């Protein structure tokens, strides 16, 4: 009973000292109660090394899909990206082989190791896309495949006894190959990107850029950017997913200057000024794949692998998969429909 008036006095004193609450600053202020001057070494900074060791043991998954008409150099470019034969390359049609009448999906897995870091790379190829006279709804098998991978992950996630580490087969990145016509995007390109930009990270790429002059290339890039903007097609990195000002500045530069990447792929080496370089030999000289004055392959590689690989995975998990998961669970009242197999597993678990 005696504490009441003392408290009220203290509160009155506090209200005189504490100024009016101001608007929250844009940048969060440093917490006042924490003393930054530590009396000795604790070892908080070792958490980074602990995380590194853990992730080094488990390794990484990265699933990349390549989409585009036959003959645009999809397999060659992926092989150039990872400097190894990671994508099957057909040497042309044999008489016995039939040309695929519908879009096929071929996934090829590899384990690549560099500097002690292991990456389980899966290249998903889509032969038959856009090769027919009637290409109506030819993106449907691709969309179905992407959603099947989300479904597979979701089923593993909602299991009662789920795995400690769920195998990740979700498509993290889709390289869409644009034909180097120099004119404009085809209706097929626009329809594909409209349908799939909501379910996967699309990175548009102008294939075989060495077939255009520098002026044609610059003009074509601007035209493609304009067409994508007019049609409301969002490619990766999407504006609304920029986390802070630094990300926004970096990604704006990529969106306004680099996209779509005009690239040349090659898995053949040539000798140039005493150095071995990947390139394409022409009667006028050698086009060096990794030379920025020749093409933008180096920019694409740095973007996909060296700066945005982790972000591609995070956007896939936090945005595209999350959207699919919310819709799927909402449609089915909270859980995917139980099959006989899952019912038996459910009973045995109980």
How far apart CA 279 and CA 267 sit, in angstroms, is 7
Domain-located, residue 14: no
Full residue range of the structural domain in which residue 215 is found: 58-264+300-331
Identify the band that residue 98 occupies on the pLDDT scale cut at 50, 70 and 90: low
- Assess whether the previous peptide bond of 205 is cis (omega < 30° from 0): no
pTM: 0.78
The Cα 141–Cα 97 span in angstroms is: 21
pLDDT value of residue 24: 45
Q: Say whether 198 sits in a helix, a strand or coil.
A: coil
Question: Do 52 and 45 form a contact (C-beta atoms < 8 A)?
Answer: no
Averaged confidence pLDDT in the chain: 80
- The answer to whether residues 69 and 179 touch, using CB atoms and an 8 Å cutoff, is yes
The strand ranges marked E within 72-209 are 106-114, 117-125, 173-178, 202-206
Judge whether 30 lies within some domain: no
Report if residue 209 sits inside a domain: yes
Q: What is the CATH number of the domain that holds 76?
A: 3.40.50.300
Q: What is the pLDDT of residues 262-288, one digit of tens each?
A: 888 887 888 888 888 888 888 888 888
Determine the pLDDT at residue 264: 87
Match 């009396």 to its residue by tokens.
39
Rounded to whole angstroms, the Cα distance separating 120 from 58 reads 10
**Is 103:86 a contact under the CB 8 Å cutoff?**
no
- Asked if residues 228 and 206 have their Cβ atoms less than 8 Å apart, the reply is no
As a whole number of Å, the end-to-end CA separation of the chain is 55
Q: For residues 165 and 18, what is the distance between their CA atoms, to the nearest angstrom?
A: 50
Residue 233 lies in a domain: yes
Rounded-to-integer distance, Cα 10 and Cα 15, Å? 9
80 in any annotated domain: yes
Q: Centre a 10 Å sphere on the Cβ of residue 192 and count the other Cβ atoms it contains.
A: 25
Q: Give the count of domains, the chain.
A: 1
Give the whole-angstrom CA distance, residue 176 versus residue 65. 8
Q: What is the mean pLDDT of residues 286-313?
A: 86
């Amino acid at each position: 009973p005696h504490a009441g008036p003392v408290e009220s006095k203290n509160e009155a004193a506090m209200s005189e000292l504490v100024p009016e609450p101001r608007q929250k600053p844009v940048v969060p202020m440093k917490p006042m109660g924490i003393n930054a001057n530590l009396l000795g070494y604790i070892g908080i900074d070792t958490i980074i090394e602990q995380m590194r060791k853990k992730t080094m043991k488990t390794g990484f998954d990265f699933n990349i899909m390549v989409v585009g008409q036959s003959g645009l150099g999809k397999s060659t470019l992926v092989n150039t990206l990872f400097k190894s034969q990671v994508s099957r390359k057909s040497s042309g049609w044999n008489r016995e082989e039939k040309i695929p009448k519908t879009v096929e999906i071929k996934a090829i897995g590899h384990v690549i190791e560099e500097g002690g870091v292991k990456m389980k790379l899966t290249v998903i190829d889509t032969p038959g896309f856009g090769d027919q006279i009637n290409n109506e709804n030819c993106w449907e098998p691709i969309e179905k495949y992407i959603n099947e991978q989300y479904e597979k992950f979701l089923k593993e996630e909602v299991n009662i006894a789920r795995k400690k580490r769920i195998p990740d087969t979700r498509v993290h990145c889709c390289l869409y190959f644009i034909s180097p016509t120099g004119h404009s995007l085809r209706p097929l390109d626009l329809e594909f990107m409209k349908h799939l930009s909501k379910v996967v990270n699309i990175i548009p790429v102008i294939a075989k850029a060495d077939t255009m002059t520098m002026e044609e290339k610059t003009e074509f890039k601007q035209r493609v950017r304009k067409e994508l903007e007019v049609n409301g097609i969002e490619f990766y990195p999407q504006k609304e997913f920029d986390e802070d000002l630094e990300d926004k500045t970096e990604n704006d530069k990529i969106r306004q200057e680099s996209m779509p990447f005009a690239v040349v792929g090659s898995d053949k080496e040539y000798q140039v000024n005493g150095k071995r370089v990947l390139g394409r030999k022409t009667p006028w000289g050698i086009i060096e794949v990794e030379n920025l004055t020749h093409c933008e392959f180096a920019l694409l590689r740095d973007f996909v692998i060296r700066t945005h690989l982790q972000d591609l995975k995070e956007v896939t998990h936090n945005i595209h998969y999350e959207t699919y998961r919310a819709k799927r669970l909402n449609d089915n009242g909270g859980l995917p429909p139980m099959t006989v197999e899952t019912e038996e597993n459910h009973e045995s678990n109980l």
